[in-house]
């Protein structure tokens, strides 16, 4: 088999990154921390970092989101931010009374060598005897990875900080990766139909998609409780979605304090909890794998509801085959998400010719080959550590019929007159980003319809006659 054309940004003659295919690491950690009940994320760095993160998350989720900052100044940069850290924690306790303060570092605080774990220990010593919130720290400099790496780092550090092993229980831990709040609700519904107890982390299905409030709340309702997080060390199994996880951070810097790549692997090493990994359940193949895994762990059969959804999805594949077969796609975004998307596209006859990610795990191609098997397209351009301008250079050559990814690719879509189906994060130019479904048979059905209708609409718009029937 011919080796795929694997493009790296550093091989291009660029002087700057233009419209990066990723966001910063502390943004990802803040997203994960928003999945903890009664938690306030704190950025240890400059005010601009927290402002950028709030802006990005609010534009996507359309919810009020508070991200605190230790507010580095010139003095903090030179002499250290310990004083700022102490003041910020004091203020958060006073104003929010949180159960958890979750701290993320930034490029600035990491570059000057801030020892945040030492600051936490010293803060606890000074306030000995007081009831303090849980203080969790994730090291997330953006030069050591993307928002995906920051997200997984936060999940790992939370489980490492809080998990305990007191008495065994019949609970399954679920670590779903970066999905939409609606996706998380779909997963919670699955466990309800299986009548199976679970702990899902993070769970921002409510914190980042709340009902309308009569009165403003400083901290949104919802999230995984500290009590539940402590029980993860006593569960009977852990399921994690993904093939890549935070491998980009692992390959971009030496981690002296973190010995495990994922939260589930940590629980396996620390408490001998069995770990089961599968990809994002997008498409029939990967969704089947998830349900088969759940069946094996629980000893139960797939509920009738999901068998019917699967059957309807197969039927829609047949209905739409004549519109989709032979079409070409450009897929971009988070590595584990695009692996699931490309696997799904291969099921419906769409050939992925361009694939781009801001991640730099160095294992994306091998993961795609393993998942796709003989459906892997050896001619596919796979861009690692990419921006959209560098990927745009390949658009004329490969002429995809459709783009699938976040709203950051809208400029390429307009420039080349190619329909864009928005998935993943961020989606800033449409309403309902928090309700986009990606996973399981139901989410796959929604994606299938969007992709098919986008291609049909393009065909109608390009026709001088127009089509009343398609």
> What does CATH list as the number for 5-16+314-462?
3.40.50.1980
The pair of structure tokens assigned to 352 is 């992925």
Residue 345 has a pLDDT of 98
Distance in angstroms (rounded) separating the CA atoms of residues 209 and 202? 14
Buried b (16+ CB within 10 A) or exposed e, 95-109: ebebbbbbbbbbbbb
Q: Which residue did the predictor score with more confidence, 470 or 113?
A: 113
Distance in angstroms (rounded) separating the CA atoms of residues 96 and 27? 21
Residue 2 has pLDDT above 50, yes or no: no
Instruction: State the burial class of residue 458 (Cβ atoms within 10 Å of its Cβ: 0-12, 13-18, 19+).
Output: middle
Give Cα 385 distance to the centre of its chain. Answer: 17
Angstrom distances, CA of residue 424 to CA of 79, 178, 286 = 40, 8, 17
Q: Do domains 5-16+314-462 and 25-278 have the same CATH topology?
A: yes
**CB 295 within 8 Å of CB 278:** no
For 356, the enclosing helix (H) or strand (E) is strand 351-356
**CB 162 within 8 Å of CB 233:** no
- Reported confidence tier of residue 448, pLDDT bands at 50, 70, 90: very high
Distance in angstroms (rounded) separating the CA atoms of residues 355 and 317? 23
Distance in angstroms (rounded) separating the CA atoms of residues 221 and 217? 8
Residue 253 has a pLDDT of 47
For 272, left (φ over 0), alpha (ψ -120 to 50), or beta?
left
Distance in angstroms (rounded) separating the CA atoms of residues 303 and 411? 43
**Stretch 253-279: mean pLDDT, rounded?**
80
Give Cα 135 distance to the centre of its chain. Answer: 23
Residue 372 has a pLDDT of 96
Residue 258 has pLDDT above 50, yes or no: no
Q: Which residue did the predictor score with more confidence, 360 or 198?
A: 198
* R_g over Cα of the chain: 22
**Stretch 20-40: mean pLDDT, rounded?**
95
Distance in angstroms (rounded) separating the CA atoms of residues 249 and 361? 8
For 356-412, the pLDDT digits (tens) are 999 988 899 999 999 999 999 999 999 988 888 888 888 888 999 999 999 999 999
Residue 408 has a pLDDT of 93
The pair of structure tokens assigned to 404 is 């699938």
For 77, the enclosing helix (H) or strand (E) is helix 74-79
The pTM score is: 0.93
DSSP category for residue 156: H
Residue 254 has a pLDDT of 42
Helix, strand, coil content of the chain in percent (nearest 5): 50, 15, 40
**Stretch 39-56: mean pLDDT, rounded?**
94
DSSP category for residue 434: G
Residue 246 has a pLDDT of 78
**Stretch 412-435: mean pLDDT, rounded?**
96
**Stretch 183-189: mean pLDDT, rounded?**
98
Beta-bridged to residue 105, according to DSSP, are 44
Distance in angstroms (rounded) separating the CA atoms of residues 324 and 248? 33
DSSP category for residue 81: S
**Domain extent listing, the chain:** 5-16+314-462, 25-278
Residue 126 has pLDDT above 70, yes or no: yes
Residue 271 has pLDDT above 80, yes or no: yes
- Could you give the percent of the chain with pLDDT greater than 70? 94
Q: Token match 């931010």: residue?
A: 81
Distance in angstroms (rounded) separating the CA atoms of residues 461 and 131? 64
Please provide the average confidence, as pLDDT, over all residues in the chain: 92
Q: Helix or strand or coil: residue 310?
A: helix
Distance in angstroms (rounded) separating the CA atoms of residues 338 and 344? 10
**Stretch 417-437: mean pLDDT, rounded?**
96
Alpha helices in 146-262 (DSSP H): 147-162, 181-193, 226-231, 247-252
Q: Which class in CATH covers the domain with range 25-278?
A: alpha beta
Beta-bridged to residue 341, according to DSSP, are none
For 213-248, the pLDDT digits (tens) are 999 899 999 999 999 999 999 999 999 999 998 776
Distance in angstroms (rounded) separating the CA atoms of residues 171 and 197? 5
- Residue among 280, 277, 247, 281 nearest 265 (CA): 277
Neighbouring residues of 365: CB distance < 8 A, sequence distance ≥ 6: 4, 6, 382
- Reported confidence tier of residue 280, pLDDT bands at 50, 70, 90: very high
Distance in angstroms (rounded) separating the CA atoms of residues 47 and 312? 50
Distance in angstroms (rounded) separating the CA atoms of residues 432 and 182? 10
**Stretch 410-427: mean pLDDT, rounded?**
95
Neighbouring residues of 412: CB distance < 8 A, sequence distance ≥ 6: 330, 388, 391, 392, 395, 403, 418
Distance in angstroms (rounded) separating the CA atoms of residues 36 and 116? 20
Residue 10 has pLDDT above 60, yes or no: no
Residue 145 has pLDDT above 90, yes or no: no
Neighbouring residues of 89: CB distance < 8 A, sequence distance ≥ 6: 42, 101, 123, 135
| CA–CA–CA angle 138, 143, 149 (5° rounding) | 45
């Amino acid at each position: 088999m011919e080796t795929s054309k694997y493009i790296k940004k550093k091989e291009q003659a660029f002087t700057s990154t233009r419209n990066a295919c990723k966001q910063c690491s502390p943004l990802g950690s803040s997203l994960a921390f928003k999945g903890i009940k009664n938690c306030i994320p704190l950025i240890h760095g400059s005010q601009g970092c927290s402002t950028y993160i709030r802006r990005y998350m609010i534009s996507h989720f359309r919810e009020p989101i508070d991200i605190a900052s230790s507010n580095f100044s010139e003095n903090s940069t030179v002499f250290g931010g310990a004083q700022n850290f102490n003041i910020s924690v004091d203020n958060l306790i006073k104003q929010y009374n949180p159960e958890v303060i979750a701290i993320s570092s930034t490029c600035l605080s990491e570059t000057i060598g801030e020892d945040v774990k030492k600051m936490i220990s010293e803060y606890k010593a000074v306030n000995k005897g007081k009831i303090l919130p849980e203080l969790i720290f994730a090291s997330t400099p953006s030069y050591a990875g993307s928002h995906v790496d920051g997200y997984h780092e936060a999940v790992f550090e939370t489980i490492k900080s809080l998990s305990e092993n007191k008495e065994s229980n019949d609970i399954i831990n679920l670590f779903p990766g970066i999905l939409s709040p609606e996706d998380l609700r779909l997963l919670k519904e699955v466990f309800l139909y299986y009548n199976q107890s679970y702990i899902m982390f993070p769970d921002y299905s409510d914190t980042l998609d709340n009902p309308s409030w009569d009165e403003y709340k400083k901290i949104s309702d919802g999230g995984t409780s500290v009590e539940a997080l402590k029980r993860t060390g006593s569960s009977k199994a852990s399921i994690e979605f993904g093939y890549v996880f935070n491998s980009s951070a692992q390959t971009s810097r030496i981690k002296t304090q973190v010995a495990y790549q994922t939260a589930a692997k940590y629980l396996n090493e620390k408490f001998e909890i069995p770990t089961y990994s599968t990809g994002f359940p997008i498409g029939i193949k990967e969704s089947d794998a998830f349900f088969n895994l759940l069946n094996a762990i629980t000893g139960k059969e797939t509920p009738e509801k999901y068998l019917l959804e699967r059957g309807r999805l197969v039927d829609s594949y047949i209905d739409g085959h004549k519109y989709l077969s032979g079409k070409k796609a450009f897929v971009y975004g988070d590595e584990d998400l695009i692996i699931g998307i490309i696997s799904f596209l291969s099921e419906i006859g769409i050939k992925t010719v361009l694939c781009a990610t801001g991640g730099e795990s160095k294992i994306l191609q091998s993961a795609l080959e393993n998942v796709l098997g003989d459906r892997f397209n050896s001619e596919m351009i796979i861009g690692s550590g990419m921006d959209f301008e560098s990927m745009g250079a390949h658009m004329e050559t490969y002429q995809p019929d459709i783009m699938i990814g976040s709203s950051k690719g809208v400029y390429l879509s307009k420039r080349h007159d190619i329909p864009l189906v928005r998935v993943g994060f961020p989606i800033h130019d449409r309403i309902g980003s928090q309700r986009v479904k990606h996973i399981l048979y139901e989410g796959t059905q929604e994606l299938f319809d969007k992709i098919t209708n986008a291609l049909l609409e393009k065909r109608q718009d390009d026709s001088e006659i127009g089509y009343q029937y398609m």
